[in-house]
Structure 1
Amino acid sequence: MAGESDRLLGEDRLRGVLDLFERLRERPPWRWRERLRPLLLLLGPDRATSHAAEMLKSRCEDERAPVSHIAAETPATGVAGVLREAKRELSQPSSRARGEPALRFPLLEMALWLRDLREIRLAGDRPPPRDASAAERENHRLVRRVTHPPVGDNENARRRELNRVIRRRGRDVLRDLEEPRGRPATFLSFLEQIAPIGIAVVALISAGTAAALDLASAVLAAVIGLAFVTVQIVARTRGWYGVRRFVWFLRQPYVDRDSTGFLGFALGVFDPRPVEPEDHGEQLDLLLVAAFLEDLRRNYRRDYRRAAWARVRYPVLIFERLSAGHPGVTFVELVERVRADGQASGLPPGFDPLVVVAGVDPAAPADDDPSVPSGPTLVERLAQAVRVDVSSGEPQSVIAARGLWDRYTREQRRVGALGSRRELRVDITRDPGGDLPPVRPVRRRPRLAHPALPWIAMVAVAAASVTVISVQVVRYCSPVGIRRMANGECVGITDGSFRFGEDSGGRNNDNRLNKVLDEIEALNDHVKESGKPYATVVYLGPVTADPSIKNRRIDLLAGVQGELIGLAIAQKRFNDAAEGDDLRLRVLVANAGARFRYAEQVAGQIRRRALKDRSIVAVIGFEQSRRQTQEAIRLLAKSALPLIGTANSYDGTALLDGDAGYSPYYFRLASPNSRTAEHAAYWARHGDVGGRRVDDAVVIHDGDPDDLYSRNLAVDFERAFRPGSALMRPYRNPGELNKSVREACQDQPDMFYYAGRSDEFRSFINVLELSCPKRPLVMADDEIAKYVSDNAEELGRKNTFDLYFTPLAVREAWTWRWIGDQAPQTFYSDYDPAVRAMSDADGPPGQRPSITRAAVGYDAATLVATVASKVYWQEKALPSAGSVFAALNDPDHDVLRNGASGVIRFGPRASGHQVLDKPVMLATIKPDGRPIAGAGPRPGRRGAPRRRAERSDEEAKGPR
């Protein structure tokens, strides 16, 4: 108890020294406040300095701060011995906080190892001592192998042997070579440095890529990033990577080296010269000290490593008592020389964090030589070693004056780096008495430098990124470019391999399109596998049903199913006819969503893809005349892609803003609404529909401002019919439609002209049948062909109203009655087998593709393929979008004489590239559900609508 009281009393009396010691070893929180620490000299007799040194050491160990205590009786043989002891103690678990990595000294370990080899080499063939460690015995064996290599290429053999061992030690550069831990421990040592930051960065990049591009790109970014992180971790356990750290030695001025890199440097240290210079040993000691300080600097460097920021105490080297012959004196002198050399080299300042405390008897002499009794003291010798010399201020000559400024700036930099004072002296025997304030509180490790924080941050970032990607997984229907929109539809571009009807649970709701997509995919695969040249056409259409429609019987996909079947027939026929190096056709399918909701976004995808894939020569489809379709056409026209409209009949399709007129790149296969309405009004007025003249009509149309088709057709019909005899009835929803029909039936007109969409046609006829007292007469446009195709049998069986409509194309128009001796269109002979092969036999009964839309889809694809093939043979090069457009724009010849919907010849841009001489046909439904059709002008012939007087009533309905 008495000894403990004396110890506490001593600590209280030395409270000022403790406060100074805490300030010396406390690391500033900011980089710009870091400075080299001065030498702390504790002056007093041996017993007092030993007590003070022990007290400082205990304080560090209580905090688990890095400290090395070199006792007076420590058997330290030279500077190398001091460094070995300092390295060992600074690496102990007691010198680091729990959970923190130990200080590592790879440069010092390599330098000490090379020095040991050199000492063995100088000793000749002397065997190792009996009590030598395994490492020492291995060093002796290595020296023998390098000194006496096998007979042959001795120099190369020496280099290979030494290089092999250096690489092995480079691999283990982070572990204590005296206590091997193996590669797994080395791997884990690097894991904290690389894994948290690397994985967090990879997660952020992957999430950003998923949000900006698509899931496939995100997965690719994640795989590449994780592979890079893994390679970094594994590579750092390899010897070649560890050797890279030793390049530092090549920049040191203390030992000569050749030009063969670090191996040459190692051989220079290993091979003693025939006549060693007197200071060679000192130069090696300087190299050891420089390596020691550089290792400490790297351990405390403020970079991406968390552990470096967590170290809030500088490492302390305490010499319990220095005397003239103690190697610690030489160590202090060499440390200051190395610091001065580093500052004089002009390199950016790198402050080593070492704090040196030394106990010194103020009366101890500076030299052990007893012949100089009144020489300088050891304190003066140490003070001289750490002094910062500056100019004496003596005046210079006029010639030497020119160098004064350079000398002045060098001295300023030196003082700024080393400090104006380099030692602090404390006489621990002087006690003036009085109370001292408490020792300043110890700085704690920053919370942001907690060992768990990088892993917590990594997990948080990774979890957030996984959440983002999970959202994208829900948002994406396919990893490559197929996105899930807010209403659940999957939109994007496919080669036929993706099924757009899949819902969020992976179930396929629109399986009526599966077989035709399978066929397109197989045809595309065959094109790619053939290795032959090909051109690509992109189909843009509404490939999914409206998600709000739950009844698959009214999904209204007959139109797009027909167009896709027409595309597949055209693609197969064109490719089957190709021989040798003839051009082939590839088809991509782009879903714009039901009602073309996402046409503009998907058009952007097509545009970007066309910039990368130069085989894309045209885009076809655009079947619905809506505002979104118009925007898509304008966007795609900016890429100079030829655009072929199938069923789009709005008069102003492809009109540009302002007075620019129609886009030059858009070509239309459907007659415009104005021409169709003119024929419909003529037939109605002259009794060609229903067998009686129509004096008044109610026009039903969709009032949605985004629907360009419906109002345009209604206005055109009203204008072509008798002025004031057509009553306009717009609707915005099924409820308004039902109300309008019921009101119209109260004063039933001669005819209802339905200019609305197929979506509401079932509601229209249901209310019509229930509300009208007389048998209604209904006339409509090709838009309802989608509904008729799926419900023809039901319409014929019910037979509750007379229905006439104007399809874009019908099979009956190609019978002998209408074309006479002209060659028939072969499309229709291929159609029925294709429908059986590409339709779902297990689908709901009555669902059939629209033959009308199949015909125009076939014509569009055949048109592009034919033109591209002509360009290919004329130019002897793969066709481009520009060359295909030039051929389509040529007014001197028919582009396609015998299309399934008639002759295809386009008018000038001024009229919107309308198809010329296109027949407008009239069709109705027989009681057995079969369509029957007639025509206005015959296919392939110019002419105005024929008057009813020129044919019989049966002819007005078309051939039976």
Structure 2
Amino acid sequence: MAAAGGDEGLGAGALRGVLELFERLRERPTRRARERLRPLLFLLGPAARTRRAAKLLKERCESERAPASHIAADTSAAGISGVLREAMHELSQSACRPRWEPALRFPHLEMALWLRDLREIRLAGDPQPPRNASRAERENHRLVHNLTNPPVGDNESARRRELGRVIRRRGRDVLRDIEEGRRGRISTFLGFLEQIAPIGVAVVAVVSAGTAAAVDLAAAMLAGAVGLAFVAVQVLARTRGWYGVLRYGWFRRQPYLSDGSPDFLSFALGVLDPRPVEPDDHAEQLDLLLVAAFLEDLRRNYRRGIRRAAWARVRYPVVIFERLAAGHVGVAFVETVERVRADAQRSSDQRVFDPLVVVAGVDPAEPADVGSPHPSGPRLVDRLARTIRVEMSSGEPEDAVAAGRLWGRYLGEQRRVRVLGTRRELRVDLAADPGGDPPPVRPGRRRPRVAHPLLPWIAMLAVLAGSISVISVNARRYCAAFQIIRTESGECVGITDGSYTFGGTAPAGGHVNRMKPVLDRIERLNDEVLRSGKDYITIVYLGPVTADPSTRNRQLDLLAGAQGELVGVSIEQQRFNDGSPDLRLRVLVANAGARFRYGAQVAGQIRDLALRDRSIVAVVGFEQSREQTRAAIRVLSKAALPMIGTANSFEAIARLESGAYSPYFFRLAPTNGRLARHAAYWAAGGRLGKRAGTVDVIYDDDPDDLYSRDLAHRFQAEFTAARPGGTVRMSPYRHPSDVARATMAACRDAQDVFYYAGRSDEFPTFVNTIEQNCGRSDPVVLADDEIAKYVSDHPEEIGGKGYRLFYTPLALREAWTPAWVGPGRQPQTFYSDYRRIARDMSGGGDAAERRPSETRAAVSYDAAALVTNVAKQVYGEQKSVPTPSAVFAALTDQGRDALPKGASGVVRFVRGPTGHVVEQKPVLLATVRGDGALEVREVCGRLVAGGQVPADCPPAR
């Protein structure tokens, strides 16, 4: 019998049943199973056996690295606070958690214990700390002294500030461990990082990738920066002091010592202040507060949500009392825990659960109280059983008045049973003979694979990698962060204020970007406008600012047209800003891509920008008559923005889907019909050196090219009308590679004149084929203003070729001579400004061969001057910044010339069947002499207001 009472009489094999029960008791159920409070496990038997069993249970927890605290029978813990300190210390040890898992944290309990320490110092009335006091104790004494003595102690606001300052400093020092001192900030930081970073970074990555795909790269970068900043703030905030004050709001919501405090600082000061007559239950209330804080911390550590660590915890925390006696502090602890649980169930409509498991060794003969050791008196185990029993209704009937309350009590009992269970205690008699070999202990539940500590980081990296890939792919769409998109062809299209210089040419190389000087000039002028602080209007230039990506020879990029138009706009910008005292002009550049491929897309950007930027009053450009240009005009017409077309001449370019013509589009160039009539008249009348009887027309038959085919057929009709019996042969091409074939076919029969109605991109192929394959001396080529871009870059080369070139430019400096405008007339000052600026931009050397087109510069100058001219008038009349509608109304005023002294002639708009056109728009006939100089042969239309020299022009219709 003696052996049975010793440690050696109860081996691990005999306790396998206890271990099985213990394993099931602390095993956390899966999500699908409802969690309930665990019953109290009583290990009944003599001291040696309960000590052995408690030690074995503790060793099993340590072997599994599960949270457990062992309270010895002879513990020196002072009251419930001492038990809680020891339990908190042991449960948060690294040996009580799996490797790489965060420790259990007890911020509420630590705060409650700290407040208790301050209260004890206050009640002791001794302002001086003990001689061997630690640094923390000295700081606590100093704080109590400050809170109770002037100047702080006599001012409630000052006391709140002082207490808040110390709490924030404690937060900066991070959480304290009672035995081990302070944990390092890095470890706490990493703990919070594991909670926040994987999900936060993954969400930010997904949002950024989605924004990059749906909006633009700038928005994606902004979303990513804001998201990562938010995650960083969340991580850093939890190690800062001010967050410590915010997270303790739970204290004023719990039922102990709260007294309706409006905030945590008020609650804390209430705990520190002793009552005039200290009631006996105040200390009891403080113990309840400590236990409630302990259970709340455990509840939050195990609360399932987005935190991975809470799902990974598959073992409930256990507090093992080796031996409970009548006077042991563990008895008060168990009773207080159960009281707090019962209060929580009564005060809340929700299911309040905490994961604490309590195991206690008890001698069944132990008396309930220290003062009643009588053998037949109440026993401690029964006292504890009554404490944790679930009280139900006695079943006694109620009277008729109280009957209505029965249902509420019934629901309350149901809720308590759901949380507390039907049984609140389990008893195991360790002294009884097991009588047989118990079955082996089933292994406990393993941590879910989806809760592995590396999984969130792996998932985060996978999402991050995928998002970076999406952003990288979408980043290829953008040439710059704002409004500049990279197209599938490799061009950069969008809107810039000049700060982004479009590539200029498709092929890579070290040559000069011909667009950069003029864009730099526009950017500088725009900056001056913004720095001036004066009112300003904005016009947007829309045109093909990049070359066709298929162009490999940089000498054939044919960007002289767009370059010239930007030079013309910038000349008017500087002139207007220098001469206007109150109003300024800002210019934005919108690249529609080569051949206007992305005109509608960029027009949509302009429309959206105009909704945000009310200074935008007009759009100028639209130099090419293509289907994409018409789509852009339709987009901008819906935004009611005035549009000034510079070089497009197709009559129906402004036709809307309804069949009507946009009232917002104003054309500066002569129409195809007017150009064809003049060209046919001059060819048939001998103004090209001989009277042409046969003409071969080369034109682009691309369905998207509205200009070329229309001009070719109009010329055919006009020539046959001007030269009865004349022959016109049509030679279309669909692809640039077909130009040589169409030209060689035309060369087989001797024609008097080649009329080139195609695009400037294919013009070099056309003239080279004539020189090499036609076999005729001095062939005559007549072309439209479209080839002015090619002429601008190659005048000397054209003059030295074996063909004679005539063309009909929209404007030329050579037309502004006394021979055409009359003697004594003041010269057009635009051209002198243009020559100076063009020379400054070209610099010299290779770049000097790539001049901006003077013709297009003059027309775009007129377009910008039209807007500024009417805007200045509106500004003077209304004394406010003009709106697009006010500019539109002024442009449609039929009673005056919109621009009496334009660089391309007098501009007066009339409303025709195809929209607004310039009345008597000048049509010039020019040629390139052998030395590369340009010569104007005819000037028809209103170049100046009066005194213009007559020319050989077709009769008026």
CA deviation after TM superposition for structure 1 residue 534, in Å: 1.1
2:55 maps to a residue whose letter is: E
Structure 2 unaligned regions, length at least 5: none
- Aligned equivalents of 2:8 and 2:868: distance in 1? 100
Counterpart for residue 547 of structure 2? 545
Matches of 1:845 and 1:371, distance apart in 2: 116
2:737 pairs with 1:740? no
User: Cα 1:854–1:393, aligned 2, differ >3 Å: closer, same or farther?
Assistant: same
Q: Which residue is 2:600 aligned to?
A: 600
SS at match of 2:586: strand
Corresponding residue number in structure 2 for 1:719 = 717
Secondary structure in 2 aligned to 1:40? strand
Determine if the alignment matches structure 1 residue 673 to structure 2 residue 672: yes
Question: Which of the numbers 192, 195, 219 marks the counterpart of 2:194?
Answer: 192
CA distance in 2, matches of 1:578, 1:154: 65
State the partner residue of 1:331. Answer: 333
Indicate the larger mover: 253-262 or 637-646: 253-262
The counterpart of 2:939, out of the listed 916, 935, 938, is 935
- Give 2:37's aligned residue: 36
Return closer, same or farther for 1:543/1:923 CA change in 2, 3 Å cut-off: same
Which position in structure 2 is the counterpart of 1:683?
682
CA distance in 2, matches of 1:43, 1:881: 93
1:860 corresponds to which of 859, 863, 874: 863
Counterpart position of 1:883: 886
Measured after TM superposition, the shift of residue 378 of structure 1 is 2.1
Q: Could you say if the C-alpha distance between residues 845 and 77 of structure 1 is closer, same or farther in structure 2, counting changes exceeding 3 Å?
A: closer
Taking structure 1 as reference, are residues 852 and 413 closer, same or farther at Cα in structure 2, changes over 3 Å only? Answer: same
**How far apart are residue 883 of structure 1 and its match?**
1.0
1:310/1:449 contact within 8 Å kept: yes
- For the Cα contact (< 8 Å) 1:536–1:617, is it kept in 2? yes
Distance 1:627 1:330 in 2: 89
**Given the superposition, is the C-alpha separation of residues 220 and 505 from structure 1 closer, same or farther in structure 2, using an over 3 Å criterion?**
farther
1-structure distance, mates of 2:861, 2:106: 77
Q: 2:365 aligns with which of 343, 355, 363?
A: 363
Deviates more, 1:450-459 or 1:920-929: 450-459
**CA displacement, residues 203-231 of structure 1 (integer Å, 9 cap, x when unaligned):** 44444444444444444444433433333
CA contact (8 A) 2:940 2:952 kept: no
Whether contact under 8 Å (1:858, 1:900) holds in the other structure is yes
2:518 and 2:841 in contact (8 A); partners too: yes
**Displacement of 1:43:** 2.5
Q: Describe the shift of the 1:948–1:8 C-alpha distance in structure 2 as closer, same or farther (beyond 3 A).
A: farther
Q: Residues 373-422 of structure 1: CA distance to partner in whole angstroms, max 9, x if unpaired? A: 42332222222111111222222111111111122222222222222222
For residues 405-554 of structure 1, what are the structure 2 equivalents within 5 Å? 405-431=407-433, 433-434=435-436, 436-501=438-503, 511-554=513-556
Tell whether the 8 Å contact from 1:620 to 1:645 is kept in structure 2 after alignment: yes
* Offset at residue 328 of structure 1 (A): 1.4
**Deviation by residue 1:630-661 (Cα, 9 ceiling, x = unmatched):** 111111111111011000111210101133x1
Structure 1, unmatched stretches of 5+, are 951-960
CA distance in 1, matches of 2:717, 2:9: 111
Q: Is 1:764 aligned with 2:762?
A: no
Question: Which piece of structure 1 moves more, 174-183 or 277-286?
Answer: 174-183
For 2:112, give the aligned amino acid: A
Does the 8 Å CA contact 1:604/1:636 hold for their aligned counterparts? yes
| Greater CA drift, 380-389 or 271-280 | 271-280
Secondary structure of 1:653 counterpart: helix
> Deviation of residue 863 (structure 1)?
0.4
Q: Say if 1:662 and 1:720 are closer, same or farther in 2 by CA, change over 3 A.
A: same
- Residue 259 of structure 1: how far off its partner (Å): 4.2
For 1:679-828, list aligned pairs within 5 A.
679-692=678-691, 694-722=692-720, 725-775=727-777, 776-798=779-801, 800-820=802-822, 823-828=826-831
| 1:326 Cα deviation after fit | 1.8
Distance in 2 (alpha carbons) for counterparts of 1:604 and 1:755: 31
Deviation per CA, 1:129-150, whole angstroms, max 9, x where unpaired? Answer: 6765554455445445544556
Amino acid in structure 1 at the alignment position of 2:446: R
Change (3 A) 1:62 1:902: same
> What SS class does the counterpart of residue 476 from structure 1 fall into?
coil
More deviation, 164-173/311-320: 164-173
Paired residue for 1:99?
100
User: What is the TM-score normalised by the length of structure 1?
Assistant: 0.92
Alignment of 1:162-201 (within 5 A): 162-172=163-173, 174-178=175-179, 179-201=181-203
Could you tell me whether the CA contact under 8 Å between 1:286 and 1:338 is conserved in 2?
yes
Any idea what SS the aligned residue of 2:295 has?
Answer: helix
Residue from 560, 576, 582 that aligns with 1:574:
576
1:108-157 residue CA offsets vs partner (Å, 9 max, x unmatched): 12222222333333334397667655544554454455445569847666
**3-state DSSP class of the match of 1:779?**
strand
Q: How much has 1:31 moved relative to structure 2?
A: 6.9
For 1:955, the equivalent position in structure 2 comes to none
Deviations 1:918-960 (A, max 9, x none): 12221111111111121234535899x976899xxxxxxxxxx
CA distance in 1, matches of 2:69, 2:14: 24
CA distance in 2, matches of 1:222, 1:504: 32
- The CA distance in 2 between the partners of 1:568 and 1:877, in whole Å, is 24
- The match for 2:917 is 914
Match of 2:204 among 202, 206, 221: 202
Query: Match of 2:611?
Result: 611
TM-score calculated relative to the size of structure 2: 0.93
SS in structure 2 of the partner of residue 766 of structure 1: helix
Relative distance call for 1:503 and 1:412 in structure 2 (3 A) is farther
136 and 807 in structure 1: CA distance in 2 versus 1, 3 angstrom threshold = closer
How does 1:110-189 map onto structure 2 within 5 Å? 110-125=111-126, 133-149=134-150, 153=154, 161-172=162-173, 174-178=175-179, 179-189=181-191
> Which of 340, 344, 347 matches 1:345?
347
How far apart are 1:502 and its partner, in Å?
A: 6.8
Q: What residue is the counterpart of 1:835 in the other structure? A: 838
Q: For each residue in 1:811-861, what CA deviation from the matched residue of structure 2 results, as whole angstroms up to 9, or x when unmatched?
A: 232222222255543222322222212334233554322211111011001
Hey, what's the Cα distance between the residues in 1 that align with 2:538 and 2:805?
40
How much does 1:884 deviate?
0.7
Q: 1:785 to 1:474 in 2, by over 3 A?
A: same
What is the match of residue 642 of structure 1? 642
2:63 and 2:454 map into 1 onto residues whose CA distance is 23
- Local SS of the residue matching 1:721: helix
Partner of 1:267: 269
Say if 2:89 and 2:178, in contact at 8 Å, map to a contact too. Answer: no
For the residue of structure 2 that corresponds to 1:727, the secondary structure is strand
Pairs within 5 Å for 1:237-386: 237-257=239-259, 259=261, 261-346=263-348, 348-370=350-372, 373-386=375-388
Q: Is the 8 A contact 1:544 1:557 kept in 2?
A: yes
Cα deviation, residue 324, structure 1: 2.1
CA deviations 1:518-569 (Å, max 9, x no partner) are 2212211111111111111110111112222122211101111111111111
1:589 aligned partner, one-letter code: V
SS in 1 for 2:654: coil
Residue type of the alignment partner of 2:304: R
- Report the number of matched residues: 943
- Of residues 249-258 and 530-539 in structure 1, the stretch that sits farther from structure 2 once superposed is 249-258
Report the counterpart of residue 89 of structure 1 in structure 2: 90
Contact 1:918 1:940 in 2 (8 A): no
1:621 maps onto 2:621 in alignment: yes
How far apart in 2 are the matches of 1:782 and 1:78?
A: 101
Match of 2:60, SS?
helix
* Contact preservation (8 Å) 1:780, 1:805: yes
Instruction: Describe the SS at the equivalent of 2:426.
Output: strand
Q: Which amino acid aligns with 2:395?
A: G
- More displaced, 287-296 or 885-894? 885-894
Q: How large is the RMSD of aligned CA atoms in angstroms?
A: 2.9
CA distance in 2, matches of 1:508, 1:761: 26
CA distance in 2, matches of 1:744, 1:711: 17
The alignment status of 1:393 with 2:395, answered yes or no, reads yes
Q: Are the aligned partners of 2:80 and 2:332 in contact in 1 as well (CA < 8 Å)?
A: yes
Q: In the alignment, residue 711 of structure 1 is paired with which amino acid?
A: R
